[in-house]
Amino acid sequence: MAGALLNPRNPRGQQPAHLRTSGQSHQRCGPGLPALLVVAFWTITLGLLLEASRPARAAEPSPADAQVVPPGPLTFDDCVRLAIRQSPYFTKSALEIEVRRMNETDSRYALFTPHISFQSYYYVERPYQTGRPYWLYFYSEPYNPFGSYFTLQAQKQATQMAIFLHLQVISQGLERLGKMFLSLAALKQLTAFQSDLVNLCRENLTYAENRRVIGTGTSLEVRLATQELEVAKSELARLESDRKRTLNSIKTFIIGLKPEQTIDLDLRDARRQVLNNFDPAAATLEQAKARSFELRASAIKMELQKYNVTVAKTRVLPDILINAQNVNPLNYTTATGYFLGLGLQVPIWDGFDRIRNISRQKTILKQYGSEKDEKEIDLTDKWNDLQEAISVNSAGVNLAKSQEELARLKERQAEIQYDSGNEQLPAWLEARKAVLEAHKSVASKALEYDQSIVSLRQLSGDLCYSYVDEKSWQK
HEC profile for 159-197? HHHHHHHHHHHHHHHHHHHHHHHHHHHHHHHHHHHHHHH
Residue 60 lies in a domain: no
7 vs 143, more confident: 143
pLDDT of residue 475: 64
For residue 264, the surrounding DSSP H or E stretch is strand 264-265
Distance in angstroms (rounded) separating the CA atoms of residues 426 and 417: 12
Using DSSP bridges, classify how beta strands 319-326 and 264-265 pair: parallel, antiparallel or unpaired: unpaired
CA 112 to chain CA mean position, Å? 32
Residue 1 lies in a domain: no
48 vs 102, more confident: 102
List of residues 6+ apart from 73 with CB closer than 8 A: 264, 265, 266
Residue 474 lies in a domain: no
Q: What's the number of domains the chain is made of?
A: 1
pLDDT of residue 63: 41
Please answer whether residues 17 and 327 qualify as being in contact, where contact means their C-beta atoms are separated by less than 8 angstroms: yes
CB 2: neighbour CB atoms within 10 A? 15
- Average predicted confidence (pLDDT) for the chain: 82
Per-range mean pLDDT, top range of 115-119, 186-190, 321-325: 186-190
Exposed / middle / buried, residue 39 (Cβ in 10 Å: 0-12, 13-18, 19+): exposed
Least Cα distance to 202 among 436, 429, 434 occurs for 429
User: Crossing angle for the helix pair 145-214 and 91-112, nearest 10 degrees?
Assistant: 180
3-state secondary structure of 253: helix
Mean pLDDT of the 351-374 span: 91
pLDDT digits (tens, 9 = 90+) for 26-42: 344 444 444 445 445 54
pLDDT of residue 17: 36
pLDDT digits (tens, 9 = 90+) for 431-443: 999 999 999 999 9
Terminal-residue alpha carbon distance, the chain: 42
pLDDT at 136 over 90: no
Mean pLDDT of the 222-229 span: 93
User: What are the two backbone dihedrals, phi and then psi, of residue 80, each rounded to the nearest 5 degrees?
Assistant: -65, -50
Residue 61 lies in a domain: no
Least Cα distance to 161 among 226, 100, 249 occurs for 100
Which region among 50-54, 146-150, 361-365 has the lowest average model confidence (pLDDT)? 50-54
Q: What is the CATH number of the domain that holds 119?
A: 1.20.1600.10
pLDDT at 395 over 70: yes
Instruction: Band the pLDDT of 129: cuts 50, 70, 90.
Output: low
pLDDT of residue 6: 36
CA angle at 224 for the pair 220 and 225, rounded to the nearest 5°: 115
Which region among 67-76, 116-125, 153-162, 451-460 has the lowest average model confidence (pLDDT)? 67-76
Residue 63 lies in a domain: no
pLDDT of residue 69: 65
Distance in angstroms (rounded) separating the CA atoms of residues 440 and 400: 9
Instruction: Band the pLDDT of 377: cuts 50, 70, 90.
Output: very high
Using DSSP bridges, classify how beta strands 116-122 and 27-29 pair: parallel, antiparallel or unpaired: unpaired
- The pTM for the full model equals 0.77
Instruction: Band the pLDDT of 121: cuts 50, 70, 90.
Output: confident
Instruction: Band the pLDDT of 235: cuts 50, 70, 90.
Output: very high
Residue 32 lies in a domain: yes
Distance in angstroms (rounded) separating the CA atoms of residues 184 and 266: 10
Residue 380 lies in a domain: yes
pLDDT of residue 130: 60
Least Cα distance to 459 among 250, 175, 183, 180 occurs for 175
CA angle at 88 for the pair 83 and 250, rounded to the nearest 5°: 50
Kindly state the percentage of the chain with pLDDT values over 70: 84
297-320 burial code (b ≥16 CB/10 A, e <16): bbbbbbbbbbbbbbbbbbbeeebb
Using DSSP bridges, classify how beta strands 264-265 and 73-74 pair: parallel, antiparallel or unpaired: parallel
Instruction: Band the pLDDT of 58: cuts 50, 70, 90.
Output: very low
How many CA atoms, within 13 angstroms, populate the side-chain half-sphere of residue 423?
17
- Which residues are bridge partners to 381 per DSSP? none
Distance in angstroms (rounded) separating the CA atoms of residues 316 and 352: 10
The range of the structural domain enclosing residue 361 comes to 11-52+69-464
pLDDT digits (tens, 9 = 90+) for 259-279: 777 888 999 999 999 998 899
Residue 224 lies in a domain: yes
Please answer whether residues 466 and 397 qualify as being in contact, where contact means their C-beta atoms are separated by less than 8 angstroms: no
Please answer whether residues 72 and 84 qualify as being in contact, where contact means their C-beta atoms are separated by less than 8 angstroms: no
